[in-house]
Amino acid sequence: MLEVNNLMVFFENALALNGLSMSVGNGEIIGLIGSNSAGKTTLMNTLSGLIIDMRIKEKRKGGERISIYGTIRYNGEDITATPPSERVKKGIVLSRERHPVFQESSVMENFKIAGYLRTRTEIKKMEDFIFTLFPPLVKLKNRKAGFLSGGEQQMLAIGMALIARPKLLLLDEPLLGLSPMMQKAVVDAIVTLNREEGITVLLSEQFARPVLPVVNRAYVVENGMLTLSGTGAELIDNPEIKAAYFGV
């Protein structure tokens, strides 16, 4: 489904991604494991196309120069230069880190905003699924997003991404700042999305322990480079992974 070949991203002269190559197969759950500043968010922004908008905005205001090299292919099509809005239409949807939601709007209003490309029928169908996926949101339909807890906002952010009907869902740090119980709820929801809706998932995380048991494969990224890859089971048993990401 997704093929990334020799991807390089520079912010001025700083190298954020260095010769990164990876693949995501249709129907897989793929993990991207790495510490803070490893390059995970830059990769997610590049795959979703947000990096293109960032480059345009920086150029307009005379800010830092952003350069992108390499290729990204989606279902055989080169989308390296495709803007983010067109990638969403093709089914590539990003749920960004730190659950960015519309704070002054209610849960239902956030869903409507996210569904600008969808019909009312499509939005209603996915809303019903989201409330099944995240039962705590049912009683919060009319509450402003700014008054939700961190875990509830994360559920809402993932729900907003689902309203767009993704074929490839990119989740950037979905477990960041969540309690262990809430982390489990989010991970369980990801598995349900994959199994019941057939959504391919690529998620980045620094918390490897709850993620590796459910992924088909995972990549480890350090300093913008992929340093290790394997199945979830293989990486769980890897002593380097345990030491770096399990705290053992």
List, for residues 45-101, the tens digit of each pLDDT value: 999 999 999 998 888 888 889 999 999 999 999 999 999 989 999 999 998 876 678
- Does 10 map to a domain? no
Residue-range definition of the domain harbouring residue 144: 26-41+89-246
- Does 229 map to a domain? yes
Length of the chain: 248
What pLDDT was estimated at residue 248?
A: 47
Q: Are strands 217-222 and 225-231 parallel, antiparallel or unpaired?
A: antiparallel
- Does 173 map to a domain? yes
For residue 147, give every residue at least 6 positions away whose Cβ sits within 8 Å of its Cβ, in sequence order, or none.
none
- Nearest CA to 157 out of 215, 113, 213 is that of 113
What pLDDT was estimated at residue 117?
A: 73
- Does 19 map to a domain? no
The total number of structural domains in the chain stands at 1
Q: How far apart are CA 27 and CA 197, in angstroms?
A: 10
Q: Note whether 64 and 12 are within 8 A (CB).
A: yes
**How many Cβ atoms from other residues are within 10 Å of residue 93's Cβ?**
23
pLDDT < 70: residue spans in the chain = 98-99, 246-248
As to burial, measured by CB atoms within 10 angstroms (0-12 exposed, 13-18 middle, 19+ buried), residue 247 is exposed
CATH number at residue 167: 3.40.50.300
Q: Which residues of 20-54 are buried (b: 16+ CB within 10 A; e: fewer)?
A: bebebeeebbbbbbbeeebbbbbbbbbbbbbbbeb
What pLDDT was estimated at residue 98?
A: 66
HSE value, Cβ hemisphere, 13 Å, CA-based, for 13: 0
- Nearest CA to 156 out of 135, 170, 137 is that of 137
What pLDDT was estimated at residue 68?
A: 93
What pLDDT was estimated at residue 167?
A: 94
- Does 53 map to a domain? no
What type of residue is 27? G
Q: How far apart are CA 209 and CA 152, in angstroms?
A: 22
- Does 16 map to a domain? no
